[in-house]
Amino acid sequence: MILKFKFDYNSNNNTLIYFLHTIAKQSNLEYKITKSNFINLFIKGDEDELTKFSTTLSSLLPMSIFFKDSTAEVVSQMSDEQGIVFDNEKIDLSFCSSCLQKVEDNTSIDFYNPFISCDICGTTCDVNELNFIDFNKEKIHYENYEELFKKIAFLINDEKSIKIKTRSGSFVFKKLMKTEENVKLLCTNLANISKAFIANKAEVVALASIEKPIINLKVNEVFKLTNTLNQEYANVRFVNDLILYLLAKELKDYDIDFLTYEENSDFDYELTYEKQLEPLDIMKIKVIEDKNIILESNSYNEVLDDIYSKFKEPSKSHFMVLLHEYNFYDKSILNFYSSTKEDDNIALYSKDIEGLLDIVNYKLPNSIEEIFETLKKDETASRLLENYKNKYPDIYENAKKCDISSLKTNSIYSYWKIISVILGFSLKIEEHNVLLDNAMSCILDKGPRVDYKLKESDKIFNKEFLLHKLIQSGMSFKLAGVDDKTLSLGYVESFAHYISTLIDDIHNEVKLDGISLTGDIFANELISKLVHKSITKNFKIYYNKDFVIQK
């Protein structure tokens, strides 16, 4: 009897393959692992053996932010494909469920041992002593690790700060106190995360995954009333190191669910060890819909950096990395790159053309007065501008004199900053994006349809974006009495419709196999939600797998 397990795993890393290989090898059953669009495990045995193996696999296979789905079925034979051999490669991971079984078993010699060797996740360590040092640089004696972690938990509850060496670096941890600002938080009890934050199921699962990422979570309104956190969002991660895990177990006795942490800060005590272990990356992600978008990471294959470095334009670099990650060289993909840091670009890759074809590029004006002069050349737009000048003379004059030289990137994000001044949302070019902030705080579901227009052309490529039309449209709505936040939402929502329209237009010329979104604009929850809503379900949307959405 042969069972085939099929895994939908949205990454090119070897973590899942490593676990499948390790668990299957320990079963002493014949098996084979193959990889194409999915990762497949074929394993042979009698019914009882395979039932036992399935139970073991489900208990030992870790959750992962890249793991989407799995199926199992009985098949007649092993795959003819070449199997993946995975004997010597090392994977750097946080603790797995097998680790936890050992450190939590009070009959085990590894009870409360943060340096166990694990035959499932491959963790090995020859550290045999944790040094606990007081403010006088004197070692504090302890009988066993359980006593040590109880002592540290007591001191943290007593408002002492502890510098702890972990696989991800040394940090100073302390109890979350009142009126804290701009803090990074370590959640020590995920069961109580909703006490402080608004976190959906996907975000909680991601925090608990084998990758243990950082996620920005919104502070809930009830917790704000306690005056504990003076910020809208906070950087939150879960314990990713057995030292922190065992400490977290003891902190439950004091109802401590969160610790603040810093790399450089004064401390009262230090917990350290002499050996330098392999560093563990802490990636930062954003969970949108069913997508885990990687914002910061050092965990991807170096080959992706090599591909990225071959292009001068970040928009092209990101697109080519994505094509490589999905092996889309025989597909037709339309990529939207929109960024807060670099020039925007819309480009088409198709197996039928050589290289990338620029569909739309953006160009900054030299001044706002230049935009007004362009509007004056059209009779309808000229009348609108005159009416706007008469109704909002102060806004008009301020905009006309506004210096936009601080804007360096040819992007929608820069356009929104210019629009914020012209429509009176702000008096100058701000460092943050006032229009986007307005849209995100708007309580309405919809805004007015603003014109994102391209100059008429028979070609599908190198189209000119008409910035003055984008501004003319917004001025007409402001004259009609639309408030600033609703109008801002209209600009963001219409950006999503603009993307959808472009996709349909290109698809009429070149049959598309998918859409890719790169650049950190698409890591914004509102923008991503509106874009996904606008794009028809006939098109599959792709983000980078392992690579960051914005380099």
Q: Which pLDDT tens digit goes with each residue over 344-381?
A: 999 999 988 878 999 998 999 999 999 999 999 999 99
Report the distance separating Cα 453 and Cα 415, nearest Å: 13
Q: Which amino acid is at 454?
A: L
| C-beta separation of 475 from 491 below 8 A | no
pLDDT in tens, 446-480: 999 999 999 999 898 999 999 999 999 999 999 99
Q: What residues contact residue 230 under an 8 Å CB cut-off, 6+ apart?
A: 179, 180, 181
Q: Which of 341, 483, 335 is nearest to 408 (CA)?
A: 341
What local confidence, expressed as pLDDT, does residue 181 receive? 84
| Nearest Cα residue to 468 out of 451, 487, 485 | 451
Q: Report the distance separating Cα 382 and Cα 375, nearest Å.
A: 6
The alpha carbon torsion through 507, 510, 516, 519 (nearest 10 deg) reads -100
Adjacent-strand bridge partners of 371: none
Alpha-helical runs (H) found in 442-483: 467-479
Amino acid 85: pLDDT: 76
pLDDT at position 87: 62
Segments in 392-483 forming alpha helices (H): 393-401, 412-422, 434-441, 467-479
Closest CA to 416 of 435, 397, 403, 401: 435
For residues 518 and 344, what is the distance between their CA atoms, to the nearest angstrom? 10
CB hemisphere CA count around 30 (13 angstroms): 8
- CATH code for residues 361-503: 1.10.357
- Rounded distance, CA 261 to CA 220, Å? 21
What is the enclosing helix (H) or strand (E) of 207? Answer: helix 201-208
Task: Among 3.40.50.620, 3.30.70.2190, 3.90.870.10, 3.40.640.10, name the CATH number for the domain at 121-272.
Answer: 3.90.870.10
**267 with 155: CB under 8 angstroms?**
no
Tokens of 359: 């569909």
* Distance of alpha carbon 166 from alpha carbon 154, whole angstroms: 20
Axis-axis angle for helices 145-157, 242-251 (nearest 10): 60
Please answer whether residues 256 and 157 qualify as being in contact, where contact means their C-beta atoms are separated by less than 8 angstroms. yes
Sheet architecture: strand order including 67-75: 30-35, 39-44, 2-9, 67-75
The radius of gyration computed from the CA coordinates of the chain, to the nearest angstrom, equals: 28
The matching CATH number, chosen from 3.90.25.10, 3.60.130.10, 3.40.50.300, 3.30.70.100, for 2-75 is: 3.30.70.100
For 403, the token pair is 């210096």
Q: How many CA atoms lie within 13 Å of 334's alpha carbon, on the beta-carbon side?
A: 25
Residue of 213, 201, 292, 283 lying closest to 9 (CA atoms): 292
The tens place of each residue's pLDDT in the chain, 551 residues long, gives 999 999 999 999 999 999 999 999 999 999 999 998 899 999 999 999 999 999 999 999 999 999 999 999 999 999 988 888 766 566 778 899 999 999 999 999 899 999 888 888 876 666 768 999 998 999 999 999 999 999 999 999 999 999 999 989 999 999 998 877 889 999 999 999 999 999 999 999 999 999 999 999 999 988 988 888 888 899 999 999 999 999 999 999 999 999 999 998 999 999 999 887 778 899 999 998 778 999 999 999 999 999 999 999 999 999 999 999 999 999 999 999 999 999 999 999 998 887 899 999 899 999 999 999 999 999 999 999 999 999 999 999 999 999 999 999 999 999 999 999 999 999 999 999 999 999 999 999 999 999 999 999 989 899 999 999 999 999 999 999 999 999 999 999 999 999 999 999 999 999 999 999 999 999 999 999 999 999 977 899 999 999 999 99
d(CA 545, CA 536): 22
Q: How do the domains of the chain map onto residue ranges?
A: 2-75, 121-272, 361-503
| Residue 275, number of CB atoms within 10 A of its CB | 11
Report d(CA 414, CA 398) in Å as an integer. Answer: 18
Nearest to 343 by CA among 418, 434, 422, 415: 415
Which one-letter DSSP state was computed for residue 185? Answer: E
The pLDDT assigned to 351 comes to: 87
Please state, in angstroms and rounded to a whole number, the distance separating the CA atoms of residues 284 and 174. Answer: 22
